[in-house]
Amino acid sequence: MTDKPMIAILMAIYEPRMDWLREQLISLEQQTYPNLRLYVREDASPTVSFDAVCSMIQSCIHRIPVEIYRNEQNLGSNRTFERLTLEAKGDFFAYCDQDDIWLPEKLSVLQETIEKTQSEMVCSDMYIIDGDGKQVADSITKVRRHHIFRSGEGLARQLLISNFAAGCTVLIRADTARAAVPFCPGMVHDHYLTLFSATRGKVVSLSDPLIRYRIHLDNQTLVMAGVTDKKSYIRIRIDQLIERLTSLEQRFADLPELHKEITEALAWAKARKALFHHKPGAFGTVLRYRRFNPQVSLFELFGSFLPDSLFMLLINGVKKNVI
């Protein structure tokens, strides 16, 4: 028996590589925190059977109670995590991918921190490993040069465009996570949960790495993933942002200061798209609202006028963390 509050681990699985899944599950089993429950939802994988996933979980998890579900059809990670958020019971939620490795003390440290700081959500840094499990960096900031961790209250404005909390490092109060449902369309669940938490109170980042984060070609959040030309760049990097900000503008209409910031961010995003179509006034609007992301604004003020071949040279530089 323990008087510690319950942490529910919410795990979404889709087309897992089974050796990586095994490593992830074993790291959950080895958590030092004493009051855990694991909720797994398999997202209708076409080639990996649900029985194989269940068998792997049962072979690795022994001391943690487990509930396993399967989506009737593929929903994607956002909607799968959304369903888990509504289904799970617990005082805190820890969102879990299928291919990382958690350090044994991860949840103990995060739970102690969230209680001590009275924050809505906490997150940590990460060791970076490759597909073979070899460590390639001791911080996410070493491989994503524009990644900046933040802590404190009043962070919502800074979270409209970019996120600093990776979902696999997050511990969030369950009531806050449930209140965030439905998740915002066009916005990765961890980004939306961080933003939503920031509208309710304090968000805290820890500098200590608490997981081994696997970066490989199938990662959903690889920088510039799917960008092959200007057209795909607009669709992936700008249209999705416009969709996201349009939804946020409606959701946070009752927070006047944040709503005003969202409206201006939306004007910036629409002007960025207009810039690529060389529409009058777009250049000035992007310049006016460049505070939302000075690096992206400068890049597009210059790059939107380049031919695709030169534009992609710059994009490849960003992918390689050179630019």
The pLDDT assigned to 220 comes to 44
The pLDDT assigned to 219 comes to 46
Instruction: Collapse the DSSP code of 271 into the 3-class scheme (helix H, G, I; strand E, B; otherwise coil) and give the result.
Output: helix
Domains and CATH numbers, the chain: 7-214 (3.90.550.10), 230-319 (no CATH)
300 membership: H or E segment, kind and range: helix 294-303
Measured from the Cβ of residue 294, the count of other Cβ atoms closer than 10 Å reads: 9
Instruction: Collapse the DSSP code of 208 into the 3-class scheme (helix H, G, I; strand E, B; otherwise coil) and give the result.
Output: strand
112 membership: H or E segment, kind and range: helix 106-117
Comparing CA positions, the residue from 186, 163, 12, 197 lying closest to residue 92 is: 197
Comparing CA positions, the residue from 157, 187, 185 lying closest to residue 261 is: 157
The pLDDT assigned to 216 comes to 75
Beta bridge partners of 94: 9
Contact status, residue 136 vs residue 130, Cβ threshold 8 Å: yes
Measured from the Cβ of residue 322, the count of other Cβ atoms closer than 10 Å reads: 9
Q: How far out from the chain centre does Cα 208 lie?
A: 18
The ranges of the chain with pLDDT < 70 are 1, 217-223, 321-323
Neighbouring residues of 21: CB distance < 8 A, sequence distance ≥ 6: 13, 53, 56, 98, 99
Three-class HEC string of 27-66: HHHCCCCCCEEEEEEECCCCCCCHHHHHHHHHHHCCCCCE
